[in-house]
Amino acid sequence: MRIGSRVLRKWVVVLLLVSLSLSVGLTTPARAQAPSLGGLLSLAANTDDSRKIVWYGSLGALKNVVGIKLGSIDDLNSMDDRQRRLYLLETNGQLYFSQYNGLDNAGDWLQRFGINSFAIDSELTAGTGKQRFGILQGNLDMGMVGNTLMAQGYQANGSIYTASDAKAALPAVAVVGNALIVGQPDTVNAVAQPSQVLGSDPNYQAISAVLDGGTTPGQLISAVIFDGSYLNSTILAQQKGAQFNAIRGSSGIDELPLPSYNLAAVGYRFDGSQHYWVVALSYGDGGTAQAASGILAQRLARYVSMDSGAPLFAGWSVNPSSQGNVAVVVMNAQADVAWVQSMRNGDLGFLFAQ
């Protein structure tokens, strides 16, 4: 998805309008190190549903890469042209943020919930449907959050605030250290103090180490992790079935069978000029991971998009390797392919396992 000048002008106008509703003085210095995917996985409850799909986005990492302080719209207006252009391009296609975050409606989020969206360094969402929950972490003013929620009619039970309206944008909010856990009340109550977390699972540890790690240039801006069975049986076979079957032959899916894996992940890293996609698959042994990385690289080089019917990665460099039990392929990406759109659309036929 190529982002032209008209879209940039639209975003600048929207962001300037939002600034009118933000109070002066809400400035949060950019951190030297943004929280990691592995760090947020250590807060995420490990349940049957949360393992299905995990999303991650880090505005803090983007701030570091672009070299900006961003605590309010006033800070955006003080950027130089290069910084502002990079920020707008990345947040309009490459940076994942959920409906819990409020980054695209920052003034309203501040007034309704006391949450300064620009102070959220990173977020993680896990699960599906009503069991889905989000974790927002950053330099948030938790006192302001609690006071604002109470003023809006939320009921407090310890550190958990519940809306009177079940259809509220944030039905329930739990304050846990420097993080907020948001979702439906029953889910938030169940996951706010988890007995087991995703970050303790060896497969998630291995995947997050690859995505967070320094072997690929830049910083991790966005990522998505799928349970292998859920991705293959539900997303590819059912939700995308007809579209997937249409590109199987031309993409070499059956010609290049990929061994079944425990987890599949696609991360997006950015160093200020170059864009990288990191595809990682966790296996039970290093030999299978090494073989799978070569197969995956060949598939990626041939992959035809389910959405456009055209080669998705044409002209990209494709570099396979393995790290322990994880098959890894790093691609030097083209900026006109929007990571968020591709992942949300489920254009992931290259990950089908036999």
Profile the chain (354 residues) by mean pLDDT over runs of 10 residues: 36 36 34 73 97 97 91 83 89 94 93 96 97 96 96 96 93 96 96 95 98 89 98 93 92 96 97 95 98 98 94 94 97 88 94 94
122, 30 contact by CB (below 8 A): no
Do residues 153 and 85 both lie within one domain?
Answer: yes
Do residues 216 and 335 both lie within one domain?
Answer: yes
Do residues 217 and 181 both lie within one domain?
Answer: no
Do residues 54 and 133 both lie within one domain?
Answer: yes
Q: Residue 328: which of 265, 285, 271 has the closest Cα?
A: 265
SS3 9: helix
> Which ranges constitute the DSSP H helices of 130-215?
142-151, 185-191, 202-212
Do residues 180 and 276 both lie within one domain?
Answer: no
Do residues 173 and 288 both lie within one domain?
Answer: no
* Residue where a domain terminates, one of 139, 168, 198: 198
* Number of domains, the chain: 2
Structure confidence at residue 78 (pLDDT) = 84
Structure confidence at residue 34 (pLDDT) = 52
Provide the residue range defining the domain that includes 137. Answer: 5-198
Do residues 184 and 210 both lie within one domain?
Answer: no
Give the burial string for 311-336 (b: 16+ CB within 10 Å, else e): ebbeebebebbbbebbbbbbbebebe
* Residue where a domain terminates, one of 174, 198, 222: 198
pTM: 0.89
Do residues 244 and 191 both lie within one domain?
Answer: no
* Residue where a domain terminates, one of 169, 198, 227: 198
101, 136 contact by CB (below 8 A): yes
Structure confidence at residue 18 (pLDDT) = 35
Do residues 45 and 98 both lie within one domain?
Answer: yes
Do residues 213 and 254 both lie within one domain?
Answer: yes
Structure confidence at residue 213 (pLDDT) = 87
SS3 224: strand
Do residues 172 and 261 both lie within one domain?
Answer: no
Do residues 150 and 49 both lie within one domain?
Answer: yes
